[in-house]
Structure 1
Amino acid sequence: MSPARPDRLRVTVVSPGYPPDRGGVEEHVAQVARRLAAGGDAVRVLAGTPDPALRGREDVLDGVVVRRYRSLPTPGMTTAPGLVVAGLREAGRGDVLHVHSYHALSGLAALAGRRHPVVLTPHYHGTGHSAAARVLHGGYRHLGARLVAAADRVVCVSAAEARLLEQDFPGVAARTTVIPNGAETAAIRAADPWPEQGPTVLAVGRLEPYKGHDRVVEAMPDVPGARLVVVGRGPERDGLRALAARLGLADRVRVLDDVATPELHRWLRTADVLVSMSAHEAFGMAPVEAAAAGCRTVLSDIPAHREVAREHLHGSATLVPRTAGPTLLATAVRSALEETGREGRVRVRVPDWDDVAARTREVYLEVLDAAGVGGAA
Structure 2
Amino acid sequence: MRIAQVCPRYRPYIGGVETHVEELSKRLLRMGHEVTVLSTDPSGRLPKSEAIDGVNAVRFPAFAPGDAYYLSPGLHSYMKKAEFDVVHAHGYHAFPALSAAASKAPKFVFTPHYHGRGHTPLRNLLLKPYAYFGKRIFEMADRVICVSEFEKSLVCRDFKCDGKAVVIPNGVNKAEFKGLEPFPKGLKVILYVGRLEEYKGVQYAIRAMPFLPFYRLLVIGKGPYKEALVNEAVSYGVKDKVGFMADQSRADLLRWYATADVFVMLSTAEAYGITVAEALTAGVPCIVARGSALSEFVGDSCKGVDVPIAGERLAEYVQEAQFNGMPKNVLDWDEVASRVAKVYGE
Structure 1 outlier segments of 4+, above 3 Å: 345-349
Task: Determine if contact 2:109/2:144 at 8 Å carries over to the other structure.
Answer: yes
* Among candidates 139, 143, 148, match of residue 158 of structure 1: 148
Deviation by residue 1:103-145 (Cα, 9 ceiling, x = unmatched): 1100113433565210000000112111110122111111100
Aligned-partner Cα distance in 2 for 1:211–1:71:
25
- Mapped pair 1:279 → 2:268: yes
Larger Rg: 1
- Mapped pair 1:335 → 2:320: yes
Shift of 1:45: 0.9
Q: Which runs of 5+ in 2 are unaligned?
A: none
* 3-state DSSP of counterpart to 2:247: coil
* Among candidates 127, 133, 147, match of residue 123 of structure 2: 133
Report what 2:279 is aligned to.
290
Q: Which moved more, 1:32-41 or 1:191-200?
A: 191-200
Shift of 1:227: 0.6
Report what 1:70 is aligned to.
61
- Mapped pair 1:320 → 2:311: no
- 1:196-215 alignment to 2 at 5 Å? 196-215=185-204
Aligned-partner Cα distance in 1 for 2:291–2:70:
24
Deviation by residue 1:255-295 (Cα, 9 ceiling, x = unmatched): 11331221111111100110011010000111100001000
AA matched with 2:309 = A
Report what 1:364 is aligned to.
344
Shift of 1:348: 5.5
Q: Which moved more, 1:203-212 or 1:79-88?
A: 79-88
* 3-state DSSP of counterpart to 1:135: helix
- Mapped pair 1:53 → 2:38: no
RMSD of equivalent CA atoms: 1.7
- 1:175-214 alignment to 2 at 5 Å? 175-214=164-203
Shift of 1:95: 1.2
* 3-state DSSP of counterpart to 1:154: strand
* 3-state DSSP of counterpart to 2:65: coil
Aligned-partner Cα distance in 2 for 1:51–1:293:
34
AA matched with 1:358 = S
TM-score for the superposition, normalised by structure 1: 0.87
Task: Determine if contact 2:76/2:102 at 8 Å carries over to the other structure.
Answer: no
Report what 1:25 is aligned to.
17
Aligned-partner Cα distance in 2 for 1:324–1:109:
40
Q: Which moved more, 1:195-204 or 1:38-47?
A: 195-204
Label 1:71 to 1:261 Cα distance change in 2 as closer, same or farther (>3 A).
farther
* Among candidates 241, 252, 262, match of residue 252 of structure 1: 241
Aligned-partner Cα distance in 2 for 1:234–1:31:
22
Deviation by residue 1:10-30 (Cα, 9 ceiling, x = unmatched): 111111111111111011000
Aligned-partner Cα distance in 2 for 1:168–1:236:
29
| Matched length | 344
Shift of 1:50: 3.1
Task: Determine if contact 1:59/1:65 at 8 Å carries over to the other structure.
Answer: yes
- Mapped pair 1:40 → 2:29: no
- 1:89-104 alignment to 2 at 5 Å? 89-90=81-82, 93-104=83-94
Report what 2:157 is aligned to.
167
Report what 2:332 is aligned to.
352
Shift of 1:195: 1.4
Task: Determine if contact 2:2/2:84 at 8 Å carries over to the other structure.
Answer: yes
Higher relative contact order (CA 8 A, sep 6+): 1
Percent identity over the alignment? 37
AA matched with 1:223 = L
Aligned-partner Cα distance in 2 for 1:206–1:19:
14
Aligned-partner Cα distance in 2 for 1:298–1:215:
12
- Mapped pair 1:121 → 2:102: no
Aligned-partner Cα distance in 2 for 1:113–1:238:
40
